[in-house]
Chains A and B, each alone.
Chain A
Amino acid sequence: MTTTCHLPVLDMGADDYVYEMTDYEGARARWCPGCGDHSILTAVQRLLAAEQLTPENTVFVSGIGCSSRFPHYLKTYGFHGIHGRALPVATGVRLNRPDLTVFVVMGDGDCTSIGAGHWIHALRYNLDMVVMLLDNGIYGLTKQQTSPTTPQGFPSNTQPRGSWLPALNPLQVALGVTNASFVAQTAEWAPAHLYATLRAARQHRGLSFVRILQRCPVYSSALFLKAVQNPDNIGMLVHDDGVVVPELARLYANQIAHDPHDLDAARRMAGVTDRLNLGVFYRDDSRPRYEETRRVPPRTAAERVALIEAELDRYAV
């Protein structure tokens, strides 16, 4: 079977630099009907338009997995690399081009399993980019294997009688990394909150880690069922420096005042098991960012050669 999807090139008039949401639409999204990725893609397109990000100055980097097809469906620069390694590629892009806006899209296998080493260190490097973990608690593309975030007891092809180990909590991991500067959680089925959280992440200076809870309609549709069916099982963390979505206040009665500058409180909020907390758990804009080790426009070649000529002399003993 042949599946070819065409990537339209950008064809905007040079004078017409006002972007609509549709201006960011790439190839038609080919995720399964009902996949949470669709609503995340929409939220991201809304964000790009709201921020009026120039498409050719915007880069989406992804790894491998269903959610890593994300950049295909956007009309920006995109880099669909190899499994688990989106963050190093994005780091290289950022290091060389701090002028670009960089987004990273990873699934739970990509980020918390094969790419876990890069995840820890990228949080610590704290380069200015938005990192989205699209967490559906299952390997989808390879057809239903256990991922590190699969809930204990959840059956899969790896462990048909249910996942033996308790799930890894990505928020607790992220909040345990020294120099992590922005950790948030939102959900694909709460689009207004999703959008607001991504916008806060985009406006944060440093690496914004956003875990987006998401269901796979084929393999993990029952995931988060309690929270989806009953909003009382969700805690909305609210704070002026976090995310406040007034129109959701009526639906989600558990409005919890949480100061995202309080790391201890953030860790407590990340560890609760009787409900799902959504919102900005932690942020600290003062954390050092690795890309700030550089950079201003380069010298001319002539200047460089003149400066460096003397270097050779040092080796004439």
Chain B
Amino acid sequence: MSGVNDFAFKMATVNGTGSASANGLLMQAIFRMGIPVSGKNIFPSNIQGLPTWYEIRVNRDGYMARPEQIDLVVALNTGTYERDVAAVRAGGYLVYDSSWPLDRSLIRDDVQYLGVPFGQLCVENFEGDRPRTLLRNIVYTGTLAALFDIDMDVVGEMLREKFSKKKALLDANFRAIQLGHDYAMKHFDCPLPIRLERMDATRDSIVIDGNTAAALGCVFAGATVGAWYPITPSTSLMEAYRTFGERYRRDPDSGQRRYAMIQAEDELAAAGMVIGAGWAGARAFTSTAGPGISLMEEFIGLAYYGEVPCVFFDVQRTGPSTGMPTRTQQGDLMAIAYASHGDTKHIALYPCSPAECFTMARDAFDLAERYQTPVFVVSDLDIGMNDWMVPRFSWDDAYVPDRGKVLSAADLENVKKFARYTDVDGDGIPYRTLPGVGPKGAYFTRGSGHDKNAAYTEDSDAYLELVDRIARKIQGAASAVPAPEVFRQEGASVGLVALGGTHGALREALDLLRAQGIGADYMRIRGFPFAAEVADFLNEHEFVFVVEQNRDAQLRAMLAIETGVPRDHMIPVLDYGGLPLTAGRVVGAVTAHLEGAAV
């Protein structure tokens, strides 16, 4: 079980006390020691004063899903002492602030208590309330460094990088680290059995969150207009885009920006701006979360029916309504697949990690322009806001953006008569023009009923011709979206199906199931409309488990609608409490079902 380079610990603090940077420091130090590591920030929708946890999992085999059990808790929030003590596995450790006595009710026989007078150390060594509060985080970092045997040279190097320009802060941080480290070395048997040893398993990896990766993908893909309205947990995507834009999309001579980022007055406007810009030839996008998608729906229908390319990033959070804005979920799958009134179906991509946020941003713009339709990148809070260890990104310099069927001035010369919504090539995708290209190309876009010449119509046949063509066009995208990833095992008896950020938990669950003698195939869906392989996989298995993070088994419903596979062929495994999925949850559900079936 737990041991060297295989354990999990978490810090329980109060938000607004500056623990985030200390927790990031710990995670990065472990990463720099060459050991696979992942971190999950479980934070409140609040600025200051509510409980927050940061879970770090160290795993030599590279399992990155949320840990099943916690070996050690640093309990610094008296408000959550009870649950933090309860969270420690039997035989685990509790690090607490011994400046004050611990209430008897909090004592468990099967937990080892490691008291460090964090408060007292800070009062004795530092001046001022705020510095004392902030540096307490660095003191516990020092304590953990001693307990886990984190390389102090690495920690020192990181502090120097961080505070290279602020000598006073650097000195204080060094002192704090040392205080925590020395206290632990003197009073405890360091290191603990759960500890670290240098490895060489992170050399080709980077640590990045999905929102930053998506923004980077947008810049690489040539996006020039981003319009949005602030909403957790998608805010950091557009902020990262602005940061990259300021750095790489400014003319060095004139200082002029070559990109536009606009914070709209609301999500409706953001969607409208993206559609206007996309119609006028930009690679334009917005980033939002579920409530924003709800507000944007009418515009989404317009872009679908008017055939305007545009890209939407939905960083899902827990719904419905405002829900739990800082918790994760896969609750928008159906809302996106069939967004807006009337018959619609939308192209959606489901990244499983920040690495895919990067590549799928590019795919989204290519698909949006090729199919002249809204394309959604369906991420979630866990992917978007948490730091993930992923393979170093690569980029093919030969990449040429797929701008789709856009007629140039020369093309227009040769066209006898331009008709915007005609299926010239038999693939359902019409040709469009951009304003200003030539006098022959001007056309009229409308969300009202139109025929293939873009003229208003209330004629049934003209309407049917158009909407049936759009349906064919979107269905054609099934073979163009990223294909599902299928993992097969020799003699597998069951199949698992999932999408998005649960991938890490699924991979780990496969290994755990195999250890129990249960072989399982696994398909990770990456795009919608579903590729033909999706139905094939479902039909190849006697039954499959569909693992998803929402209450109503939305993915299963979509699979039933789109493939015709009966629902009772697909066993739902649902996990929708707002936290990232664990492998144990999957294993438990699968084994329970198989045992039930065997009886």
Contact = CB atoms under 8 A, between A and B. Distances in A.
Interface of A: 1-7, 9-12, 14, 26-27, 54-57, 59, 61, 71-72, 75-82, 85, 87-97, 99-100, 117-118, 120-121, 125, 290-291, 293-299, 301-302, 304-305, 307-309, 311-312, 315-317
A125 B263 CA distance: 11
28 contacts: A3-B458, A4-B451, A6-B453, A7-B454, A9-B440, A10-B441, A54-B439, A77-B435, A77-B442, A80-B444, A81-B306, A81-B446, A82-B302, A91-B227, A91-B264, A91-B272, A92-B279, A93-B276, A95-B277, A97-B282, A117-B268, A118-B268, A118-B272, A293-B257, A301-B222, A308-B219, A311-B247, A311-B248
Contacts of B393: 312
Contact of A95 (B212, B265, B273, B454): B273
Contacts of B269: 85, 87-88, 91, 117-118, 121
B31 A294 contact: no
Contacts of A312: 206, 216, 392-393, 395
A312 B275 CA distance: 30
A61 B276 contact: yes
B276 A79 contact: yes
Contact of A79 (B31, B279, B453): B279
Interface in B427-486: 435-448, 451, 453-459, 462
A291 to B, nearest CB: 8
Nearest to A76: B442
B292 to A, nearest CB: 14
Interface extent on B, as a size class? 35 or more
The 9 closest A-B CB pairs, nearest first, are A92-B276, A88-B272, A92-B273, A92-B277, A121-B265, A96-B282, A89-B276, A96-B277, A88-B269
B272 A316 contact: no
B254 interface: yes
B455 A7 contact: yes
A77 B442 CA distance: 5
B397 A305 contact: yes
Contacts of A2: 457-459
Nearest to B255: A296
Given A72-B456, A77-B444, A121-B265, A92 B272 contact: yes
Given A9-B440, A80-B448, A305-B397, A296 B284 contact: no
Interface of B: 28, 31-32, 206-208, 212, 216, 219-220, 222, 224-225, 227, 244, 247-248, 251, 254, 256-260, 262, 264-266, 268-282, 284, 298-299, 302, 306, 392-393, 395, 397, 399-400, 417-418, 435-448, 451, 453-459, 462
Nearest to B436: A57
Nearest to B203: A316
B443 A77 contact: yes
A78 B456 contact: no
A66 to B, nearest CB: 13
Contact of A117 (B206, B266, B274, B302): B266
Contacts of B32: 317
A99 B225 CA distance: 15
A130 B392 CA distance: 49
Given A72-B456, A88-B275, A125-B262, 6 more contacts: A79-B444, A80-B445, A85-B299, A91-B269, A92-B280, A302-B397
A272 to B, nearest CB: 30
B284 A92 contact: yes
Contacts of A88: 264, 268-273, 275-276
Contacts of A308: 219-220, 244, 248
Nearest to A98: B260
Given A9-B417, A311-B248, A293 B436 contact: no
Contacts of A121: 264-265, 269
A290 B436 contact: no
B459 A96 contact: no
A193 B412 CA distance: 39
Contacts of B299: 81-82, 85
A304 B248 contact: yes
A312 to B, nearest CB: 5
Nearest to B206: A315
B260 A294 contact: yes
Residue among A4, A54, A307, A317 with max Cβ neighbours from chain B (10 Å)? A317
